[in-house]
Structure 1
Amino acid sequence: MTDLLLIEDDTKLAQLVQSYLAEHGYRVHVEHRGDRALTAFRRVRPALVILDLMLPGRDGLSLCRDLCGETAVPLLMLTASMEDQVTGLELGADDYVIKPVQPRVLLARIRALLRRQQPGDSTALQFGRLALDPDNRRVTLGGEDLPLATMEFELLLLLARNAGKVMSRDAILNALRGIDFDGLDRSVDVTIGKLRRKLGDEGREARRIKTVWGKGYLFSPGQWED
């Protein structure tokens, strides 16, 4: 049985989520306080963390920062605020579910995140100074390891496997999360921004991961030599 950690102070919601996910093969450990969450994480060592952002003892955003700095375990936020969604994604969260939580949506997001952790196409990719190793989930640029969060790695790998092809937000979200773009989801744009910063591709005219206005994003295979 797969272990998950739910950090949620709403007792009724926690019980609902715990019961529902147990019916689908997950063992959910619950922590109600933010100031005890890191200890709970280290004790449980879950396959995935579900994190509410409004917690007693310590706020969820600071927890998100520390958890993402400590582990590559997928982190799923529970939030009601667009601002918190963007901030959480900037801090390293992999996905979010909007409150009030719909159990079937939560289950689908959990399955999608865990699926991304499973071995798939192991073909290594090389573009000039950029190398991607799917087996070891490793990216190097100029021979130096490039630490990436789960969503960052998966998005870069997806774009690289489709090098030279424009990918729409809809296609990206379907591939990574199994959902369609609703016009409001910012996770792809936020993650692209983070990737560009780490890849040295910032500026008004990004050339390695290009924005094709009105269409999507394009990974440029010939822009990795310098």
Structure 2
Amino acid sequence: MVHPYDRDGWKADLDGAGTAREHAPMFTNEANARADMKQGTVYALIGENSWIYYGQVTADKSVGFFHRRDRKVGDIQSILSASVMCVIPVAYPSITRALRAGTWCKIGRYDLAEALRLPRSLVQWPVGTLDVTIWQGGTIVGQTRIDDPGIQQLELMAVWDAQYHIPERLTADFGAEQSGWHVGGPIWRERKVKEERARRFPDLPYHQLPADWVPVDVR
């Protein structure tokens, strides 16, 4: 079991990462496989409940995951024409590990899906503040508060583990089943995680919400 990433504004804050279930291999174990992070590379991967999801490597070496899942690997053109659920950095060594474990499989390299060619913004949320910075393509494009309605669908800056984070993350994004309460990603869900931690751990000062916290359900 790898240690969950520590929050510093750039890595995933998933206290429940250790509870993520490991998944039985369904692809061929490739002992010498290595992550291929060239633009356009498409992976199939095993999510929770043995669903097969798909991701494609973007120009900035993140992975865009499609809103599609199957019991058997589907047709590549229909995969690439599906809508995109999320675009997130996945730790390269963890992809290598998943390939060797047989829970990820490289399908091939194809033209980048149209939806993955669009610029995307990320939110940097430092510890101990409600003030955040918006980044796009390595450039700061704005600063605001974490409860700003205009950023709720944006992704928190984070790095995710292919085996221990991604299966639960894709369940949460797909939206057909209940996902773990600790799974963040988009800002509105990260705020929900903060609220749930405060509720579950009332005696831990570092999980308590500041006086000017705006509840997620308040618009």
Query: Is TM (by shorter chain) over 0.5?
Result: no
Greater relative contact order (CA < 8 Å, ≥ 6 in sequence): 2
Give TM-score, length-normalised by structure 2: 0.31
- Compute the TM-score of the two structures, normalised by the length of structure 1: 0.30
